[in-house]
A and B are shown apart, each in its own frame.
Chain A
Amino acid sequence: MLPQPDPVTTSWTVALKAREEIAQGTLALRFDKPAGFRFKPGQAIDLTLLNPSETDAKGARRAFSLVSAPSESELTVATRLRDSAFKRTLTTATMGTRFQLDGPFGSLLLHSTRSRPAIFIAGGIGITPFISILRQATTDRLPQNLFLFYANRRPEEAAFLPELSELEKRNGHFRLFATMTQMHNAHRGWTGPTGRITWASINAIAGQLSMPIYYVVGPPAMVAATREMLNAAGVNDDDIRSEDFSGY
């Protein structure tokens, strides 16, 4: 009996099962996971509207990081609402609306050398692949130290914060550092750190660690700036992983 390779990227049809506003301007969409669909934490899918009620130049296809862990029976994606036909359709689509799912894809996977800690750096909705990785790591009781630096403009826009605090309590290997960059026009209170993620704040943790690997996900400009910051601090490109598709 030959071992069967994991499934390659392929197409499936899924129906919208639930929709929830998980933060201001941020929707989570849930689908039943098609039988046979397998992925690794940190991977992404493309969703294409099969019968769009409206279309525009940006098209009916978008890439989304999966928020859900492979151990879950549902697939969840989360997205910031923007002004496009696709996103407008998402906010109004009735339950059961059908999408073509293509995937999985993406190589932003947690490294397998457990002795090397991971430092995740997320800007806004760039948090999504890290939620999948952290959920699975916590479920699996992974003996690997994981640190998350998570920047949002305002607390009301920060998705998954309560869950991340909960994961921190359940997973002794995980620590969360959340910061808000625009508290001056926030509508919700915040007692944690403010301002951008700086090398000083990262190094307060990384300085204690042996050969951490950095993972950066966020808007392209944030990813580029973070890379520059890490390079300037002497972190080699080989130890920085990032994903440049903009599924947010």
Chain B
Amino acid sequence: MPAARRSEPTAFVLAGGGSLGAVQAGMLHALHGGGIVPDFLVGSSVGALNAAHFAGRPDAAGIRALEQIWLGLRRADVFPFSLWGGFLRFLTKRSYIVRPDALRAVIDQALSFDDLGDARIPCHVTATDLLEGTAVVLSRGPASEALMASAAVPAIFPPVQISGRLLIDGGVASNTPIATAVRLGARRIIVLPTGFSCALDRPPRGTIEMALHALNLLVMRQLVDDTERYADRARIAVVPPICPLAISAYDFSRTAELIQRAKTSTKRWLADGGLDKAAGALPHNEHPDRLTAVCPRKAMANAALPQDEVAV
């Protein structure tokens, strides 16, 4: 291992949700192609799934296989939602509307190890303690359970019980995977955000799409805040999210486009020395005539907003 890496432990941080997680496969492809290797990974929600796949097979073939998983996913593979089933769960006062076995099948298919501790690169998965709101970091134990917990979007999927605690999606936690990476000793952090659907030509529709969109907004804003908050603790670089992005986090039909665009923009970012630039210096792509005025890159530029403006 080169001396530089020993003195500067590098973490990849992957967070975000829904179909937009496909961009992280493209980003990993470009980062790997650029010879950038993490000492460990921290993942949350769908980012935890990508992180765990990469941690098990951190090579070109593994990344290609991860892309293939994304290309093969259809909405019903993750959200086998039917009105009737949803209605029944409503009637029976269940706390979720999508049965989780389909997501579990996707997760089990993607994992090359059973126990998180057996990953080839250490991989830490964050979830949220449902009652306390705190981040819980899972670093060993059943990987499948950890990923299910981390991706348990509130009200969509049921909470997962691990060691007596009820856990939900890592994106809801009061602290982000960046905080976790710092605490675990990273001195260089490369954040792979999914971004969010900033350029939709209509507002998010339906319960699941709305939940995924809102959660992505929340996660992105938290990442922006922590990029600022931990700037003196670690060198933090944020891979530019795709912007403008007119694909909903509930749309699984355009993952090839997400992968391609992320691969290209990440390569260009690396070639332009992005790893050594401050996150706040990211350019903002104008997209007039759209619903929203804020997009990830602009949000990055506004990272220094006071806390109370950030609170929901």
| Chain A contacts for B69, CB-based, 8 A | 5, 8
Complex CA–CA separation, A106 to B265 (angstroms): 17
Judged by a CB distance under 8 angstroms, whether B292 is at the interface is: no
Chain B, range 227-265, C-beta contacts under 8 Å to A:
242, 253-257, 259-261, 263-265
| Chain A contacts for B110, CB-based, 8 A | 8
B268 and A107: CB pair below 8 A? no
| Chain B contacts for A56, CB-based, 8 A | none
Complex CA–CA separation, A102 to B260 (angstroms): 21
A7 and B67: CB pair below 8 A? no
Quick one: given A2-B80, A237-B265, are A9 and B64 in contact (CB under 8 Å)?
Answer: yes
Which one of B64, B106, B254 lies within 8 Å of A105 (CB-CB)? B64
Judged by a CB distance under 8 angstroms, whether A176 is at the interface is: no
Chain A, range 93-143, C-beta contacts under 8 Å to B:
102, 104-109, 111-112
Complex CA–CA separation, A188 to B10 (angstroms): 57
Minimum Cβ distance to chain A for residue B227 (Å): 24
Judged by a CB distance under 8 angstroms, whether B298 is at the interface is: no
Q: Which stretch (B70-78, B121-129, B156-164) binds chain A?
A: B70-78
B74 and A107: CB pair below 8 A? no
Minimum Cβ distance to chain B for residue A60 (Å): 15
| Chain B contacts for A109, CB-based, 8 A | 71, 256
Judged by a CB distance under 8 angstroms, whether A161 is at the interface is: no
Which one of B33, B72, B242 lies within 8 Å of A238 (CB-CB)? B242
A105 and B77: CB pair below 8 A? no
The closest CB in chain B to the CB of A231 belongs to: B268
Contact with B along A1-13 (1 / 0, CB 8 A): 0111111110000
| Chain B contacts for A6, CB-based, 8 A | 71-73
Complex CA–CA separation, A6 to B71 (angstroms): 8
| Chain B contacts for A107, CB-based, 8 A | 26, 67, 71, 255-256, 259-260, 263
Judged by a CB distance under 8 angstroms, whether B68 is at the interface is: yes
Judged by a CB distance under 8 angstroms, whether B207 is at the interface is: no
| Chain B contacts for A62, CB-based, 8 A | none
Complex CA–CA separation, A166 to B33 (angstroms): 39
Minimum Cβ distance to chain A for residue B80 (Å): 7
| Chain A contacts for B71, CB-based, 8 A | 6, 40, 107, 109
Quick one: given A105-B67, A107-B67, A112-B253, are A3 and B76 in contact (CB under 8 Å)?
Answer: yes
Quick one: given A9-B65, A107-B67, A107-B260, are A3 and B268 in contact (CB under 8 Å)?
Answer: no
| Chain A contacts for B260, CB-based, 8 A | 107-108, 241
Complex CA–CA separation, A6 to B69 (angstroms): 8
Complex CA–CA separation, A237 to B80 (angstroms): 34
Judged by a CB distance under 8 angstroms, whether A202 is at the interface is: no
The closest CB in chain B to the CB of A105 belongs to: B64
Judged by a CB distance under 8 angstroms, whether A75 is at the interface is: no
Contact with B along A67-104 (1 / 0, CB 8 A): 00000000000000000000000000000000000101
Quick one: given A238-B242, A238-B261, are A105 and B80 in contact (CB under 8 Å)?
Answer: no
Complex CA–CA separation, A9 to B71 (angstroms): 11
Judged by a CB distance under 8 angstroms, whether B174 is at the interface is: no
Residue from A9, A46, A106 having most chain B Cβ neighbours under 10 A = A9
Judged by a CB distance under 8 angstroms, whether A15 is at the interface is: no
Complex CA–CA separation, A129 to B71 (angstroms): 16
The 3 closest A-B pairs by CB, nearest first: A6-B72, A105-B64, A109-B256
Query: What are 11 contact pairs spanning A and B, CB under 8 A?
Result: A3-B77, A5-B105, A8-B109, A8-B110, A9-B61, A9-B64, A40-B256, A112-B254, A237-B261, A237-B264, A237-B265
State the B residues within 8 Å of A (CB).
Answer: 26, 33, 61, 64-65, 67-69, 71-74, 76-77, 80, 101-102, 105-106, 109-110, 242, 253-257, 259-261, 263-265, 268
State the A residues within 8 Å of B (CB).
Answer: 2-9, 40, 46, 102, 104-109, 111-112, 237-238, 240-242, 244
